Structure 1
Amino acid sequence: MNVTHPRRTRRTHSEEFKRSLIDACGEPGASVAGVALANGINANQLRRWMRERGIEPPELSCLPLRVAASEPRGGFVSVQLPPSLDAPIRLELRKGTATVTVEWPASSAAACGAWLREWLG
């Protein structure tokens, strides 16, 4: 019996391809991970290509976005919502061959929850 194992081959990418991805990382709003994912390579591979060419990958920042002091800041804005349609809560309870359907007004959802907890006991 002969068992053949598939040979693992490395993918090779042209210098032009690597350079185009590195250039795409420099675009405003682009991320190394996003560019890599969109092109089917690992983000760490792309970062390595950048370091090999003397380009430092951008730092990840967890700092909040700063707003210039001259920009007006928004405050609380009250919004009037239209009255909702009081669609009922529908419960279908099955036990064996018996089925019970319960409709409860959505406006008293808390009471429905209390009833259901008591009923399931």
Structure 2
Amino acid sequence: MGADKRATRRRYSAEFKAQVLAECNVAGASVAKVAMAHGINDNVVHGWRKLARDSGAAPLDRPSEFVPVTVTAAPAHAADAGGIEVELRRGAVMMKITWPLCAAVDFAAWMREILR
């Protein structure tokens, strides 16, 4: 018989859970996308949301007014960049991928899934 592998349960801090739940509460946010961006299963996040609702925890306060933000033009070299380029090789097969820089978070989640 082979070595006995035990599944380990990952533990998350209260601060991390609060951060993920706050990201899920943003208007238009997808729980699945937020979970994927943090490398966790969306069912875990749904469970956290249910526990928060059942415990009667108050949702995070949202500011009642807008905060002024100054937006500057992006540097010229960032506009010229083609994106994130990755070359994957497995045996004789080679795959070259170019991912847009504006979707870097999605790329990171995709790479986590590929490298599992």
TM-score range, shorter chain: 0.3 to 0.5
TM-score, scaled to structure 1:
0.41
TM-score, scaled to structure 2:
0.43
Greater fraction of residues in helix: 2
Rg larger in structure: 1
Higher relative contact order (CA 8 A, sep 6+): 2
